[in-house]
Amino acid sequence: MTTAHDPRAYAASVGLDPARLPRHIAIIMDGNGRWAQRQGKERAEGHAQGAHSVDVITEECCRLGLGQLTLYCLSSENWKRPKPEIDFLMALLKEYLLAERAKIQEQNIRFRVIGRRDGLPDEVLSEIDENERLTRGNTGLTLCLAINYGSRAEIVDAVQALAARVQRGELEPSAIDERAISAALYTGGMPDPDLLVRTAGEMRVSNYLLWQISYAELWVTQKFWPEFDPPLLHDALRDFARRERRFGGLT
């Protein structure tokens, strides 16, 4: 097997310790509009360039043999943006789902989406469902897109689901523990993120995976998402590898 097809060898070739890579990276992709404005372009062009960055970073995570990449694509609060921008984002999302389908299959990626389906156009939901169906048996990187996602809404939905089970007599209240809550979240069955990356220099988590990132390492860059490239991802991974993760205990 050549270096290009051996994730451990590839990681070592770019100065990363394969044994100290995170299993799951979550990214808050921020700054598309600001990047475009600084370039003298329309905000839509920033979103289009941001979609290109998604493609590039997903491929790099595949090369490194990472387990999961979760990307914050559209928050439940983003519906407050002007309708033309929302319409463009929906069209861009549909285009991405169609254009990347073959590549996702070729790279053995398992495609997932988390978030509420309410409000998403039927044609977008159809393409989401098709990508999830086609890749259900894939065993490589899990690419999870958070679309119409808000962590507080996710927790509310999980609590309501558990309460309904209690009401039906399927679950004792005393049996509701951290494991039960984790399983009821949109991310049930997924590992928690080890590393949370945020672009554009913002120092907040913005209602993203609040339960799941309890012990994630945080890494923030001033670069906007359209500027985020593999060397910058490597910088984040090197910094992660230098940290001691104690999970509330001692080393």
pLDDT digits 0-9 by tens, 182-206 = 999 999 999 999 999 999 999 999 9
Q: Is 192 a catalytic residue?
A: no
Q: Is 157 a catalytic residue?
A: no
Query: 250 pLDDT exceeds 80?
Result: no
Distance of CA 23 to the CA centre of its chain: 13
What pLDDT, on a 0 to 100 scale, did the predictor assign at position 119? Answer: 92
Question: Which residues have CB under 8 Å from 233's CB, separation 6+?
Answer: 57, 60, 61, 197
Q: Which amino acid is at 216?
A: A
CA distance 49 to 39: 12
Query: 1 pLDDT exceeds 50?
Result: no
In the set 30, 32, 131, 194, the catalytic residue is 30
Query: 3 pLDDT exceeds 50?
Result: no
Mean pLDDT of the chain: 95
In the set 78, 138, 192, 207, the catalytic residue is 78
Query: Which residue spans within the chain are E strands per DSSP?
Result: 24-28, 68-75, 110-114, 142-149, 195-198, 217-220
Contact assessment for residue 35 and residue 227, using Cβ atoms and an 8 Å cutoff: yes
